[in-house]
Amino acid sequence: MENPAEPGTVQSQPVTTPPTTPCSVVWSLGRPYVLENNARWVGTDPRGRPQVLTRADLQRRGWSYRRAS
């Protein structure tokens, strides 16, 4: 779909569900998470302790493919 604000550019649909490819990396709240066994996202909390999230947890917290600057 063409973006009416900028003719000639293509507007992509926003991604709302995390990827399902094993070893995918996403960012949530400034921290990286890696998909293990297509079932859980593993990262660390702000104190460096291991943290496991579900897909639903990531969707609630918000995520992206790039680290926020």
Q: Encode burial over 19-49: b for 16+ CB neighbours within 10 A, e otherwise.
A: eeeeeeebbbeeeebebeeeeebebeeeeee
| Residues contacting 64, CB < 8 A, separation 6+ | 26, 27, 28
Q: Report pLDDT digits (tens) over 14-63.
A: 567 888 888 899 999 999 999 998 889 999 999 999 999 999 999 999 99
pTM for the model stands at 0.72
